[in-house]
A and B are shown apart, each in its own frame.
Chain A
Amino acid sequence: MTANGNKPKFAMYWAASCGGCEIAVLNIHEKILDVDANFDVVFWPVAMDAKYKDVEAMEDGSILLTLFNGGIRNEENEHLAKLLRRKTKILVAFGSCACEGCIPGLANLCPVGEIVQTAFNTISTDNPHGIYPRTSYDVPEGELHIPKLAPILRPLDQVVDVDYYMPGCPPESHQIAAVVDLVIKVVRGEAELPPKGCVIGVGDSTVCDECPRARNVKSITEFKRIQDVAPVDPTLCLLEQGIPCNGPATRSGCNARCPNVGAQCIGCYGPAEGVLDYGARLISAFASVIDAKEPEEIERILDGIPDPVGQVYRFNLAGSLLKANMDAWRVKAG
């Protein structure tokens, strides 16, 4: 990759996330060449060697576009988020983790201590000495630091101002390509940027809109896990078959990838436009299709969703109105 002072600068950073988003960017095939041709990639730890101090040395606002993926879990994530915010004109929360916490956000259901406990001390962990990490440690070479964990994971916009959001776990390659095209056009003066705060690279409805499955007025007397439904009707709406499909509440843009191949949507594209709390939408939706009047009967049907928070907030817990579990806060309180 050649450095070229005249080309706009591009950065990408990977905070608390799985790395899938980076792969997704590389997965846009020949489009990646457009990126190289049109941008000067100044910072992208997964693809090139770069030092934080180099970024710190840059002039504020000198990077045109930063795709920031991952949530803010520790001090280092937070430092980089703020640093890149200062240096960047267009900061994009890229992928579900940066947008709304995603799977790492589910850790907000536990206090930090418990997370550390689980990581370092479960049956499957080989840690005979019961060793736990420390934030600083003296070695002959000097004092070593590892970043402190925050009590909860926060999506990017809870830490810094975000210009655009691009959900997906990861975002679909065709959507990434479209966004890259758009930015290039903007750079060339051929297009306008959408208004700040927009969600880009998505559709304007929900997954059901793109889902080819047939649907009727819904009324459900039992919720089941998909593996317990045999056989799954390949053409009928999954929700009508009692499988809690998150498609009705999830923003379109993925071409209903999961229901298309026979699996229920689990919601990685996040809430539809204007929705304040994704989980609330699904609670309403699932409850609405239940066909029962007696509390006992309703409870029995609800037993078919054994992990409600996991079901309705798999990707959105950190971005939800309540953001976390009480216990995660309580660590702080007591």
Chain B
Amino acid sequence: MTERIGVYVCHCGTNIAGVVDVAEVSRWAGEHLAGQGVVVSRDYKFMCSSLGQELIQKDIKELGLTRVVVAACSPHLHEKTFRNACASADLNPYLCELVSIREQDSWVHTDKSAATDKAKAIISGGVARVAHHEALEPLRVPIHPATLIVGGGIAGIQAALEIADAGYRVYLVEREPSIGGHMAQFDKTFPTLDCSACILTPKMVDAGNHPNITLLTWSEVVKVDGYVGNFAVTINKKARYVNEELCTGCGICWEKCPWKVTDEVFEAGLGKRKVIYVPFPQAVPKYPVIDAENCAYFLKGTCKACEKFCPTDAIDFTQKDEQITVEVGNIILATGYDLFDVRRIPQYGYGRLPNVYTSLEFERLSNAAGPTGGNIVLRDGKTVPKTVGIVHCVGSRDQNYNPYCSVICCMQSLKFAHLVHERTGAEVYNFYIDMRTPFKDYEEFYQRLLAEGTHFVRGKVAEITDFARTPEEEGRMIIQVEDTLIGKQRRIPVDMVILSAGLEPRQDAKEVGKLFGLACGTAGWFIERHPKLDPVATMTEGIFIAGCAQGPKDIPASVAQGAGAAARVLGKIQQKEISLEPVRASINEQQCSGCRICNGLCPFNAILFHEDRMVSEVNPALCQGCGTCVAACPAGAISGTGFSNEQILSQIEGLLLVNVNGKTTEAVPA
């Protein structure tokens, strides 16, 4: 054995030493693994402390260690620590192996002798493995300074402005004709009741005018190639049928367009818009789009009123979808949320009982720029409700629909209660399960509502019906609920019901995730790298998430995440290049037969095939090191650094050196 291996067994205070006999383990390793190259084996109270690290560094220098095995906690915790310790003693950091005898041993077992034996086995595996480690260099790739942001809601806008202000190019891709997202639909925002448009519009305008921001609205990403630092993104710019160079946004076209359709997106189905339209007056950019599916010209071949009246000849019915490709170094996804479809709960009567509204419908109803000019009236357009019921948690916190809490519904329902009260003087009932007002000034807002005399009924609404049992119920809707604080079923007649529908992942979140190599959790939101400590990064290098795409949240949190994601991206851009874990696959061309079995296996398209030489090759920058192709190559032509066959096979051998009864084994037929 040519390697000189040092073994370091950590006590971790009593975390390990309380269960594993660390002194015995260390003695055993020094004695029994000497044949494998172990020249020194020590135990120490806290290996990760600076003294512990110095111990290793001293041995590397004085004993000429060529490999280091640290038996301590999970590599996810301290692998970097010990690698760095080795590096500063001039030992290649990748020649160090951290094996876990805490998370996988002392913390999960009680039988001390079994745990001690297991520690021996784990160390023996590590020693056998480390002998096959190679000295590696981290991969360094340059970072393209431009950034792609998908989704122009408040989270995406915030991120775009932060990065653009720092002096870097941003491509902001938005699927709808205008940026703004859901926030643009609101009248007031909780808890301060700021006018949504007043605080959002300036940001939208900034984003629209910023020299570093390229706005691509009415567009969608169709393809993502490349890897962190070097993405090539293909974007489909849908035909607008309006020449953006010529259009001045004067508005004559939509004034003259003779056709109206229901606006299902921005007006949530409550209002109408023209066929050529901007979704709302403050839209950014200001150019309209023609909704070709409803346009008389596209359907019947006649009309062209818009074209006739346009003073700048900006209408262009011959426009086609256009595909453009941009190069970026990082990507932020801020695609937001969809509203839960309240029809899935038929007992709440939406669609059957006319005066049941969704929360977004109510936002439009109460919006001064909305279809009723901000008048809160029933569907007949005139009757002002006398009693209004607001139902919390619709589709949320419910195993039948979405088990999670949608975070914003309580506050949003309080906001509604206030608006109704203020504008109509109606009696308001809020039906809630738990009142959740966890952030700054939120509880104060709740107290304000209590003071306003809002009725709060603690109970999840069972059903809403128009069948009156008593004369006072006649002609109204009845909300049937248990008032759990009183312990009685109640039937409360109301004129209007608002369903505070939960937030859901975008319908297409899975496909979008796939496009970018992101996974969605069980509820469907994009998965962050760490739920607490890294909420805006993802498992895919160079791809970040912000806002409700990551999970339900309110505007302040969306803004904070947008800014946070921007800071992460700026950090990367500043580094100019990025070092990647050198866990990569590579193909020995000599051995590769060109069978092409590996070609279809790589989810990152890292394997290319050279038709001329009939061999395959791995692009190390695209490869993420999963090792699937390594395991698949029938010719054994692919090897994977960090997790080579030799490393793993010898680790198996090492682990099996000590069996569960603590005996050194030699398997033979009985």
Chains A and B touch (C-beta atoms under 8 A apart) = yes
Cα separation A287 to B631 with both chains bound (whole Å)? 11
B596 at the interface (CB under 8 A from A): yes
Per-position binary interface string of chain A over residues 191-207, scored 1 when its CB falls under 8 Å from any chain B CB and 0 otherwise: 00000000000001111
Contact between chains at B649 and A289 (CB < 8 Å):
no
Which residues in B have their C-beta under 8 angstroms from that of A230? none
Partner of B635, one of A206, A237, A239, A287: A206
B632 at the interface (CB under 8 A from A): yes
Which residues in A have their C-beta under 8 angstroms from that of B250? none
Which residues in A have their C-beta under 8 angstroms from that of B381? none
Contact between chains at B596 and A285 (CB < 8 Å):
no
Main secondary structure of the interface of B (DSSP, over half): loop
B597 at the interface (CB under 8 A from A): yes
The chain B residue with its CB closest to the CB of A250 is B634
Which residues in B have their C-beta under 8 angstroms from that of A237? 595-596
The chain B residue with its CB closest to the CB of A211 is B593
Q: Which of A56-64, A103-111, A269-277 contacts B (4 or more CB under 8 A)?
A: A269-277
B662 at the interface (CB under 8 A from A): no
Tally chain A residues at the interface, Cβ within 8 Å.
Answer: 33
- A 281-296 contacts with B by CB, 8 A: 281-282, 284-285, 287-289
Q: Which of A6-14, A27-35, A115-123, A216-224 contacts B (4 or more CB under 8 A)?
A: A216-224
A163 at the interface (CB under 8 A from B): no
Contact between chains at B635 and A249 (CB < 8 Å):
yes
Which residues in A have their C-beta under 8 angstroms from that of B592? 205, 209
Closest Cβ of chain B to A148, distance in Å, is 17
Contact between chains at A289 and B600 (CB < 8 Å):
yes
Closest Cβ of chain B to A111, distance in Å, is 12
Per-position binary interface string of chain B over residues 635-670, scored 1 when its CB falls under 8 Å from any chain A CB and 0 otherwise: 111000000010001000000000000000000011
Closest Cβ of chain B to A314, distance in Å, is 15
Per-position binary interface string of chain A over residues 74-98, scored 1 when its CB falls under 8 Å from any chain B CB and 0 otherwise: 0000000000000000000000000
Closest Cβ of chain A to B189, distance in Å, is 44
B594 at the interface (CB under 8 A from A): yes
A301 at the interface (CB under 8 A from B): no
Cα separation A291 to B266 with both chains bound (whole Å)? 42
- A 245-301 contacts with B by CB, 8 A: 247-249, 252, 271-276, 281-282, 284-285, 287-289
Which residues in B have their C-beta under 8 angstroms from that of A209? 592-594, 614
Contact between chains at B649 and A248 (CB < 8 Å):
no
A208 at the interface (CB under 8 A from B): yes
The chain B residue with its CB closest to the CB of A328 is B669
- A333-B590 contact given A206-B634, A248-B597, A272-B635, CB 8 Å threshold: no
Contact between chains at A205 and B590 (CB < 8 Å):
yes
Closest Cβ of chain B to A239, distance in Å, is 8
Contact between chains at B596 and A282 (CB < 8 Å):
no
Cα separation A219 to B595 with both chains bound (whole Å)? 13
Which residues in A have their C-beta under 8 angstroms from that of B632? 284-285, 287-288
A185 at the interface (CB under 8 A from B): no
B591 at the interface (CB under 8 A from A): yes
Would you list 7 pairs from A and B whose C-beta atoms are within 8 A, ordered by A residue?
A204-B591, A205-B637, A206-B591, A206-B635, A217-B600, A218-B596, A248-B634
Top 10 A-B residue pairs of the complex, sorted by shortest distance between their CB atoms: A249-B634, A209-B593, A285-B634, A208-B593, A248-B634, A248-B595, A208-B595, A206-B593, A288-B632, A217-B600
Extra contacts, 9 of them, besides A218-B600, A275-B636 (Cβ < 8 A), are A206-B635, A207-B593, A217-B600, A248-B597, A272-B591, A272-B636, A285-B632, A289-B600, A333-B670
Q: Contact residues of B with A, CB < 8 Å?
A: 590-601, 614, 631-637, 645, 649, 669-670
